[in-house]
Amino acid sequence: MLRTALVTGSLIVTSLLPQGFQSHAPLPARLADTGGGSQLITAVAPAPGSTTGRLTWWDRRAGRWYEAGSADARFGAKGLTEGTARTQGTSTTPTGLYELPYAFGIRRAPAGTAYRYRPVTEGSWWCQDNASASYNRWVEPLPADCAPGEAEHLVTYERQYAHALLIAFNYDRPVRGRGAGIFLHVNGKGATAGCVSVPERAMRQILRWADPRRAPHIAIGTESGDLAVTRY
């Protein structure tokens, strides 16, 4: 049976719903924290070492969660790891509960997209240089203190970044060495370098569905043992 918990530092608060109810309730109803909004994306892998799983997007209406859509998902080539302990360059997807600040893409936003959508240009980069003042930030153009070898030239990922949402992992107060550039984006050829990816059709559906006024978050975790969600 899947159990859920919120982990904050060393404090573990497990959902206290009755056991029989837990096994049948929608996944968001079994989480101790969903971010406070009325939309949620869950990205769940079978085990920490898995590179594939399921992504589902949910709506909360009249106090209940309803599935709005789902798709096969891909994770990091080295599986998943706790977000607060992640190390940059390990090709792991950070588990936890994260905000989704804005969308971006090389292609135009799908009709109906409500999110702020930033177009990728030839000058668009994502700085991952730990020595840079722009660490874990979109930069345009690439600043002098961010080495090109330590940054992603976004326009070169024509397939993956056709459409994407920024996952706010290590974003508000970046910790050097923890990781940068974690997105929900379109599938590439295989597992990711730490992002979560879905087929392009699903990504376009998500962008049409997501409403920033409803404070959507993404919860990333595993089915093995507890789905532990750290709000980070």
List pLDDT tens digits, range 47-81: 999 999 999 999 999 999 999 999 999 999 999 99
Task: Give the per-residue pLDDT at 1.
Answer: 25
Three-class SS state of 135:
coil
Q: Between the CA atoms of 189, 185, 43 and 29, what dihedral angle is there, to the nearest 10 degrees?
A: -160
Q: What's the mean pLDDT in 24-46?
A: 94
Q: Cα–Cα–Cα angle for 104, 126, 139, nearest 5°?
A: 85
Q: What's the mean pLDDT in 124-150?
A: 98
- Average pLDDT of the residues of the chain: 89
Q: What's the mean pLDDT in 210-221?
A: 98
The pairs formed by 132-139 with CB atoms below 8 angstroms and a separation of 24 or more are: 135/174, 135/176, 135/180, 136/170, 136/171, 136/174, 136/179, 136/180, 136/181, 138/104
Q: What's the mean pLDDT in 103-123?
A: 98
Question: Could you tell me the end-to-end alpha-carbon distance of the chain, in angstroms, rounded to an integer?
Answer: 26
For the full predicted model, state whether its pTM sits above 0.85.
Answer: yes
Read off the pLDDT of residues 159-194 as tens digits, 9 standing for 90 and up.
Answer: 999 999 999 999 999 999 999 999 999 999 999 999
Percent of the chain with pLDDT over 90: 84
d(CA 7, CA 230): 5
The answer on pLDDT for 7 being more than 60 is no
d(CA 153, CA 139): 10
Task: Give the per-residue pLDDT at 17.
Answer: 35
Task: Give the per-residue pLDDT at 38.
Answer: 98
The answer on pLDDT for 2 being more than 90 is no
133 exposed, middle or buried (CB, 10 Å; 0-12, 13-18, 19+)?
A: exposed
**pLDDT tier at 23, thresholds 50, 70, 90:** low
d(CA 154, CA 173): 22
d(CA 109, CA 207): 8
**pLDDT tier at 21, thresholds 50, 70, 90:** very low
The pairing of strands 125-127 and 39-45 is: unpaired
Backbone angles phi, psi at 137, to 5 degrees: -140, 150
- Higher pLDDT: 105 or 229? It is 105
Q: What's the mean pLDDT in 16-40?
A: 76
Q: What share of the chain is helix, strand, coil (3-state, %, to 5)?
A: 15, 35, 50
